[in-house]
Chains A and B, each alone.
Chain A
C-alpha cells in the first residue's frame, strides 16, 4: 500500500513536470517575430511626433467589436496623455478580416478620407456606428454623415478609383510579418525592440506598460 502511494506521488510529480515542459515548448515555438522596422507610414493615418521614444502601430478592423472597444475606451486618453505630449507616435494600420463582410469597404472609405485629411472624424463615426452599418452595409451613408458634400464626392471618387486596395493590402502584408492573426493587434517599438500584443487593453494597463517602456534605459 505504501509503495502504491509512493508510485502515485511519483506519477503526480511526473505529470506536473510534463505539463510545464509542454507549456514551455509551446511558448518557445511561438517566439517573437523579427522587427522589420516602421515603414510605409501614411502621414494622414499617423498621429504625434515621428521622433517619439515609443511608436505604436495598431492593426485594426473597422467591423471588429474589440477594435471599437479599444478605440472608444483607450484611444482618447492615449492621444491626450501620450501622443499630444510627444511620447508616443501612433500609426493606424488596416487589417480587414475576411470574416467581416464590410470591413474592407470601411477601410477603403477611411483611407480615402485620410487622403483628404479627414481620417479622424471618419474613423470616429465608423467605430461609433459600427452596429448600424454592419447590419445594413451602409458604409457610404455613415461616412457621408460627417463630411461635406464636396468632401464626400472626393472620397467616393477615390473609392471608385480602385487604387486604395493596394495600400490596404500593404498594411495587411506588414501584419503578416508580425504574425497578426486577430484584431486589434498593437505593435510597440521602443529602443530597437518590438513588442506585438493582440487584444484589447484598458487605458490603465496601457499606461502602466508605456510608463515602463519610457523609463527603460
Chain B
C-alpha cells in the first residue's frame, strides 16, 4: 500500500505537460534522425558487408561520396571536407545516442542545436545561391530543394526549443526526488 501511494505521488508530481512533451519529441525525433544520418552516411549507398575487404571498400566509398557532397557546398576546402566526412557520421551517431539516452541532456541538446544551426545555414546559403547539388543529409543522394531548407529549419527550431526546455526543466527540482526535509 505504501509503495502504491508513493508511485501515485510520483505520477501526480510529473505530469506530461507541453514542455516535457517537447523534450520527449525532441529527444526521440532528433536523436533518431542523428543516429540514422550517421549510420546511413557510413553504410549507404554501398551496403556490402562481407568479406572484410569489401566492407572496408564500401565504407571508404560512402565516406568518399559524402566528402564530395560536403565539398560541393563550396564553403570549405577539399582537405577540410575530407576531415568533416571522416568525423561527422561518428559525431552524429554518438550525439544521437546520447540524446536518446537523455544523459547530460543540456550539454548534448546544445551541441545538436549548434550543429543543426550550422546545417541550416549551409543549406540556406546553397539554396539562395541556386546551387544544383545533393544535400548530403543522409547516405543516399537527395537533391537540395526548398523543402530541405524547410525541414532543416523545423528541426533546428525543435532542437532550440528542446534545449531551452531542458535548461528550464533543470532549474526546477526533479519531480521524483525526495521532498526536502523540514528544518527542525
Contact = CB atoms under 8 A, between A and B. Distances in A.
A69 B43 CA distance: 22
Interface majority SS (helix, strand, loop, mixed), chain A:
helix
11 contacts: A1-B177, A1-B178, A8-B101, A11-B101, A19-B97, A26-B40, A26-B43, A66-B65, A182-B45, A197-B46, A198-B45
B8 to A, nearest CB: 16
Contacts, number: 81
Interface in B134-184: 140-141, 143, 176-178
A198 B101 contact: no
Interface of B is mostly: helix
Contacts of B178: 1
Contacts of A199: 45-46, 61-62, 64-65, 68
Interface string B15-46: 00000000000000000000110011001111
A62 to B, nearest CB: 16
Nearest to A29: B47
B61 A23 contact: no
B100 interface: yes
A195 B48 contact: yes
A15 B57 contact: no
A207 to B, nearest CB: 11
Contacts of B64: 199-202, 205
A177 B78 CA distance: 34
Contact of B140 (A11, A27, A181): A181
Interface string A44-66: 00000000000000000000011
